[in-house]
Amino acid sequence: MSKIEEAMDLVRSAPVQTALRQRARTRSVADTTPSRLGAELAHMAQPREWTAAERAAAGILDFHAPAAAGTDAFRQLRVAVAERVERRNPLIGVTGVVRGAGASFISRNLAAAFALDRGRSALLIDCDRADTSNSKLVLAERKGHAAKGLCDYLFDESLDEAAIIQASGWPRLRVIPTGGMAPDSGEIFTAPRLQTLFEALQRRYADRTVILDMPPVGEVADARILAQLCDGLLLIVPYAQVDADTVDAAIERIGPDRLIGTVFNQDPVGSW
C-alpha cells in the first residue's frame, strides 16, 4: 500500500483535522503545526469548481467518472512516482524528449491526480515559455485577466510567491502560470530568485507536490537549468516521434541519477 493510498484511507476513516494532526506529529518539518494546517485547508477553500465542459476544455481527464479513458494510467503513474521520491514535498520536473511529447498534458493530469488526495495539494508551475497551455488552467486567466506568473516574479522583486500562485478550477490544484514575457528571456531561470522561490514553495504547505511543466530536454537550454533545481525528472517519450538514440541522448542530458522514470505517451496498445 502506497503512502497516498494510506493517506486516503486515513482521510476516509477519520475527520480531516484529526488525520492531519496525527500525520503532523510524525513530521520533521518544524514550522508546520496542526493549527496552521487547519488554517491552510481553510485558506485553500475552492473558489469555484470547473464544470465538466470547462474541465474538458482545460485538458484534464474526467477522474471522477469510473473507468474514464487514461485516468487509471495517471493514478498508477502517481503511485509509481510517489514510491520513488523520498522527499516529502517533492519538486518533480516533467519534460519531453522532443516538443510535442505531451509533457504539458501529462504534467497537468499528474498534478490533478496528486490533488485527488484530499489530504494533499498539488502545485503546477508552467516553465515552458513556448507552450503556455497550462497557464490557461488559472481561473482568472480564463476570464481574460492576465494573472501574474513565474516570469513576473523573477523580474519584479516586489512580488511575493503568494501573488503568483493562482487557483484553478480543480480542487487542491494551484498553478503558477508562465506570466508576462520578458523582453529578452534568455537565461531567466539562472536567477537565484528562482531557487529561493522553489524552496519557499516547498516549505509553504505540508503535503504539496510541486510539478514543473518543463520545455523539452533535448531542445531548450531552460530544461537543463531547471533540471538542476528539481528533485527528480519524468521523461516523456512520445509515440512515433523519436528513435532509441534520441531517447538515450535525452537521458544522458538529464543524468540517470536525476531521472525518476520514463513515461511512454500515446501508447496505442493501452488505448482500447
Partner 1 sequence: MNLEDTRVAGRICVTEIRRNVGWLIAGGLVIVIIAVSVGAAWPARYQSSVSIYVERQNIIDPLMAGRAVRTEVADTARNAQERVYNRSLMLAALERADRMPAERDSLAEEHALMRVRARTSVRTIGDNLIRITYEDGTAEDAFNMTKLLAELFMADLMGTQERESTAAFAFIDAQARKYQTELQEARERIQAMREVDPSARPGVFDELNRRQVTLTGQIDDLEQSLREARIREASLQEQLSGEVEIATMNTRAQRYRKRISELRDELDRLRLTYHDSYPDIVHIRQQIADLEQQLNSEEALSSEEGGRIDDAVRSDPVYQKLQRELYDVRTEMRMQQDRLNASREQLAETRAELLRTHGTQAEIERLQRDVQINQDIYEDLLRRRENARVSRSLDEEQQGLKVRVQESAYMPQTAIGPSGRDIALAGLGLALILPAATLVGWLVVDPRIRHGSHMPPLARQYQLGAIPALPRRRHGLFAAQLLTIGVLAAVLALLLAHFLGYFDLTLLALWFETLSLPGVLSR
Instruction: Give least dist CB 79 to partner 1, A.
Output: 9
The alpha carbon of 154 is separated from its chain's Cα centroid by a whole number of angstroms, namely 19
What's the rounded Cα separation, in Å, for the pair 227 and 254? Answer: 7
- Bridge partner residues of 31 (DSSP): none
Q: Beta 166-167 vs 173-176: how paired, if at all?
A: antiparallel
Applying CB under 8 A, the span of 7-15, 168-176, 198-206, 257-265 interacting with partner 1 comes to 257-265
Applying CB under 8 A, the span of 1-9, 26-34, 155-163, 264-272 interacting with partner 1 comes to 264-272
Q: Is 111 in the site for partner 1 (CB under 8 A)?
A: no
**183 is written with which cell numbers?**
523582453
What's the rounded Cα separation, in Å, for the pair 225 and 210? Answer: 17
Q: Dihedral through CA 23, CA 27, CA 32, CA 37, nearest 10?
A: -10
**Do 75 and 92 contact (CB within 8 A), yes or no?**
no
Q: Is 212 in the site for partner 1 (CB under 8 A)?
A: no
Which of 73, 151, 175, 194 binds partner 1 (CB under 8 A)? It is 73
Q: Is 62 in the site for partner 1 (CB under 8 A)?
A: no
Q: Is 266 in the site for partner 1 (CB under 8 A)?
A: yes
**Do 126 and 149 contact (CB within 8 A), yes or no?**
yes
**Do 169 and 137 contact (CB within 8 A), yes or no?**
yes
Instruction: Give least dist CB 143 to partner 1, A.
Output: 22
Which of 90, 93, 102, 169 binds partner 1 (CB under 8 A)? It is 102
Give me the 219-248 binding string for partner 1, x by CB under 8 A, dash otherwise: ---------------xx-x-xxxxxxx-xx
Q: Which residues of the chain form contacts with partner 1 (CB under 8 A)? A: 61, 69-70, 73-74, 76-77, 80-81, 84, 102, 106, 234-235, 237, 239-245, 247-248, 251, 256, 259-272
